[in-house]
Structure 1
Amino acid sequence: MSEFPEGAPCWVDAMFSDVEGAKAFYGDVLGWTFGESSSEYGNYTQAYADGKAVAAVVPPMPGAEGQSAWCLYFASPDARATAEKVKAAGGEVLMEPMEVGTFGSMMLGKEPSGAVFGIWQPGDHKGFEKMGEPGSFAWAELFTRDPATADAFLASVFPFGAQKMDDEVMDYKVFHVGGKDNMVLGRMVMDKDFPAEVPPYICVYFAVGDCDGAVKRATDRGAKLQFGPMDSPFGRFAALTDPQGANFSVIDLSTTVGDMPAMKDA
């Protein structure tokens, strides 16, 4: 794929204490295959769907052991400049920008309400080689208890436009880059159904050809079903937690039910 516009999701990875277990799990659930681990870069291992790079898994760095989580990376033409924007907007830089050989530069940050994210400035590694097809990234949503703070942060750091779902009950916002047709991120409010100990996070959606089949494969391998499967105008989807604690969702984009919700500028 060509380079991603600033602010667009361009990559995902996750740290797993049991990398081989993660490879077996996602290989079964999403059909991934895996490349050789790169010892030079902490045994970082890319995942592929039909030969296209779609994600990566890596062992935790010393001292960073704990519950696994998927990290979404947003594209940036200048990771250092984005890091300064993160700080100025009230966010936290967890890992200062660093070069990863000739592949590109990365940083890790936390938005003010608590969700962790990454920034990727591409070099040789441009990001996803496939999106929106089975086995690849499809969508992402920021879950937060403080939507006003999160919204203001995102608008300050990235060149986002925004629309809000025209719904008196649900507070759901969609951010776009370069026009309303290029939606890149959703924002959900964490309600009382979310345990207090669950911090804000970005949930990554992976496309699948059969949502119910993917859920069965996941739960048969020890995943916990959090929500769904449920039909929607966007696709049939479900939310899961993998055996090592990483939250993710699966969505069958080809199975849609109902009309698209009305949106208004926000």
Structure 2
Amino acid sequence: MAVRPEGTPCWADAMFTDVEQAESFYGGVLGWTFGESSAEYGDYLQARVDGGAVAAVVPPMPGQEGQSQWCLYLASPDAAATAGRIRDHGGEVLLEPLRVGDLGTMCLAREPGGAVFGVWQGGTHEGFGATAVPGAYCWAEVITRAPERADAFFTAVFGYTTKRIGDEAVDFRVFDLGGDTVLGLMGMTDDVPPEVPSYVDVYFTVADCDAAVAAARDRGAVLRFGPADSPFGRVAALGDPQGANFSVIDITTKRGGTPQVGEVF
């Protein structure tokens, strides 16, 4: 597999107090299968779709119990150097670069608006083994209370260029890397309750958005938005039974033209 450019989304995982419940939920909604957990790495458990690694679930470490949330990892050739730039540009390093055997090196950080994300310097585990197929990662957006600061932060740390899509009522931007759009950023609006923290919304591909939403709600999920059509696919936002937010998208069902810079989609 080719080395991913720095700043490319390359992996996603989440801590769940009830890992068995998470396995059952995501297996039923996204078709994930699971192998044996790795006791050496804190019972880390990879999810797969058609043999390709797509995400992981893990129980919280002692003292880290709390609401579950998905964490998106961005690729780095040197996690220590990336951690230094995170600090230099107003971010917070929550977990110093930590080598995980021969798998790679991880780091956890928080952008200035409060959204937590990860950095991954790949070793034998380079990241996603499949993307943009049913059950696999497709897209992610930083949902933040400080969009201007977050924009300046991510472009400085990862070398992104920014394009704004929308008008003054919709603060939505995308980050490009080497000509490819790799990540979105949306400013939280005033109608979002103040107790809702900034977060990264991870999108997983599904073959049928409405069917995935029905399966998720049958298994205790909360529907937060949609299903709705967009130029990029039919999409819905959900909260799983343990409180982790995520989105699903059917990228084969698109409505409307692809928006240009300055347009609302």
The two structures have a TM-score, normalised by structure 1, of 0.97
Q: State yes or no: 1:160 paired with 2:160.
A: yes
Question: Is the Cα–Cα contact under 8 Å of residues 99 and 106 in structure 1 kept in the other structure?
Answer: yes
Partner of 1:60: 60
Q: How many residues align?
A: 262
CA positional deviation for 1:159:
1.5
CA distance in 1 between partners of 2:35 and 2:95 (Å): 26
Partner of 2:240: 242
CA positional deviation for 1:170:
1.3
CA positional deviation for 1:6:
0.3
Question: Is the Cα–Cα contact under 8 Å of residues 7 and 76 in structure 2 kept in the other structure?
Answer: yes
Alignment of 1:113-262 (within 5 A): 113-179=113-179, 182-262=180-260
Question: Is the Cα–Cα contact under 8 Å of residues 111 and 153 in structure 2 kept in the other structure?
Answer: yes
CA distance in 2 between partners of 1:169 and 1:224 (Å): 26
Alignment of 1:5-84 (within 5 A): 5-84=5-84
Q: Which range moves more in the overlay, 162-171 or 220-229?
A: 162-171
CA distance in 2 between partners of 1:50 and 1:16 (Å): 24
1:58-85 CA-to-partner distances (Å, cap 9, x unmatched) read 0000000010000000000000000000
Question: Is the Cα–Cα contact under 8 Å of residues 104 and 123 in structure 1 kept in the other structure?
Answer: yes
Amino acid at match of 2:145: R
1:153-189 CA-to-partner distances (Å, cap 9, x unmatched) read 001110211111153431110001111xx11110111
Q: Which range moves more in the overlay, 183-192 or 111-120?
A: 183-192
Residue ranges of structure 2 left out of the alignment (5+ in a row): none
Determine helix, strand or coil for the equivalent of 1:238. Answer: strand
Question: Is the Cα–Cα contact under 8 Å of residues 233 and 254 in structure 2 kept in the other structure?
Answer: yes
- RMSD value over aligned CA atoms? 0.9
CA distance in 1 between partners of 2:46 and 2:2 (Å): 19
Question: Is the Cα–Cα contact under 8 Å of residues 172 and 188 in structure 1 kept in the other structure?
Answer: yes
The two structures have a TM-score, normalised by structure 2, of 0.97
CA positional deviation for 1:88:
0.3
Amino acid at match of 1:135: G
CA distance in 1 between partners of 2:191 and 2:52 (Å): 37
Determine helix, strand or coil for the equivalent of 1:263. Answer: coil
CA positional deviation for 1:213:
0.3
Question: Is the Cα–Cα contact under 8 Å of residues 2 and 126 in structure 1 kept in the other structure?
Answer: no
Determine helix, strand or coil for the equivalent of 1:24. Answer: helix
CA distance in 1 between partners of 2:230 and 2:199 (Å): 22
Residue ranges of structure 1 left out of the alignment (5+ in a row): none
Amino acid at match of 2:253: T
Amino acid at match of 2:85: K
Determine helix, strand or coil for the equivalent of 1:133. Answer: coil
CA distance in 1 between partners of 2:135 and 2:191 (Å): 29
